[in-house]
Amino acid sequence: MKAFDYAAPASLPEAVGLLASQPSARLLAGGTDLLVQLRSGRKEADVVIDVKKIPELNEIAFSPAGGLTIGAAVPCYRLTADASIQSHYPALVEVASWIGGTQIQGRASLGGNLCNSAPSADSIPLLIALGASALIAGPAGSRSVPVEDFCTAPGRNQLAPGELLVSIQIPPPAPFSGAAYLRFIPRNEMDIAVVGAGAAVTLSNGVIAGARIALSSVAPTPLYVPAAGESLVNQMPTAEALETAAKIAQEAASPISDMRGSAAYRRHLCAVMVRRALELAVARALEIN
């Protein structure tokens, strides 16, 4: 690995200042993407700025009115152990326990998953389905971006030079709501999704009041398909309604062929995975409340 300096700022203003003064700096959370990329020479850095000492990036906070705030650097093993996440966002616990294996989860953060902006990132479709937003800080102050608008191309995102991700904010779960993320992988663990699907539904008197659906590994960025969710509104959660939504999501996908699967196979999987994710989300909406 090419030589670099290391800094671990202890506050957000200090980190923003440092980032603004160092154009070739890279931010380090768990390093499970960054250190691999630096070692292989795919990325370079003169300075690596460790963000794990910044309090705002390390917090997990939940309130019934405000929802969930996940600091950008919180590693997956803390998410899976958190009682409020376990009871209010079970799908998030599942995603956090699927990113890599135990050792990767000891380091990998959802902030890093989002900022690495891979089309295959497992947490992003679920975050989109849950209606999450990204809180960003930079030299000009802070701003919030819906997660579906965050990624712009493979490995690229909305962050301007000098900006960093502070936290991911997820609205409180509505009564009679449920969410799920499912991925198709050739092994049970430690692999990259061939297709992943995130879904969230809210029911009202047995009728779907709102639904959000997003996919991974089928487009240059994680793909939000608003029309798929909208097709479900005012419908009973019947097999036909879920199938129709799954077909709409499938049509929005533009998968490529690679060693994990052909475009046609991925397209087929889109409908299957979305339907299953919706079924699980509906089941959860009915059971939790």
Ligand X SMILES: Cc1cc2nc3c(=O)[nH]c(=O)nc-3n(C[C@H](O)[C@H](O)[C@H](O)COP(=O)(O)OP(=O)(O)OC[C@H]3O[C@@H](n4cnc5c(N)ncnc54)[C@H](O)[C@@H]3O)c2cc1C
Radius of gyration of the CA atoms of the chain, in A: 19
Q: Which residues contact 52 (CB under 8 A, 6 or more apart)?
A: 8, 28, 29, 58, 73
Binding positions for ligand X, 168-197, rule CB under 6 A = 190
Asked if 115 is part of the footprint of ligand X (rule: CB under 6 A), the reply reads: yes
Asked if 72 is part of the footprint of ligand X (rule: CB under 6 A), the reply reads: yes
By a kind-dependent CB cut-off of 5 to 8 A, residue 112 interacts, out of ligand X, another protein, none, with ligand X
Instruction: Please say whether the dihedral angle defined by the alpha carbons of residues 21, 27, 29 and 30, taken in this order, is positive or negative.
Output: negative
| Selected range binding another protein among 36-44, 177-185, 225-233, 248-256, rule: CB under 8 A | 36-44
Nearest to 199 by CA among 110, 125, 123: 125
x/- letters, 111..150, toward another protein (CB under 8 A): ----------------------------------------
Select 95 or 228, whichever has its Cβ closest to ligand X: 95
By a kind-dependent CB cut-off of 5 to 8 A, residue 103 interacts, out of another protein, ligand X, none, with another protein
Quick one: 71 exposed, middle or buried, by C-beta within 10 A (0-12, 13-18, 19+)? buried
* Distance from C-alpha of 8 to C-alpha of 15, rounded to nearest angstrom: 8
* Distance from C-alpha of 104 to C-alpha of 238, rounded to nearest angstrom: 39
By a kind-dependent CB cut-off of 5 to 8 A, residue 50 interacts, out of ligand X, another protein, none, with another protein
Chosen residue from 25, 27, 28, 208 binding another protein by CB under 8 A: 28
By a kind-dependent CB cut-off of 5 to 8 A, residue 116 interacts, out of another protein, ligand X, none, with ligand X
Asked if 38 is part of the footprint of ligand X (rule: CB under 6 A), the reply reads: no
* Distance from C-alpha of 175 to C-alpha of 286, rounded to nearest angstrom: 10
Chosen residue from 21, 23, 86, 189 binding another protein by CB under 8 A: 189
Residue nearest to ligand X (CB): 112
Asked if 138 is part of the footprint of ligand X (rule: CB under 6 A), the reply reads: no
Asked if 212 is part of the footprint of ligand X (rule: CB under 6 A), the reply reads: no
Residue 266, classed as helix, strand or coil, is: helix
Alpha helices in 153-262 (DSSP H): 226-230, 239-252
How distant, in Å, are the alpha carbons of 145, 156, 167 from that of 140?
A: 15, 21, 17
Residues that bind another protein (CB under 8 A): 1-6, 28, 30-32, 35-36, 38-40, 48, 50, 52, 75, 77, 100-107, 188-190
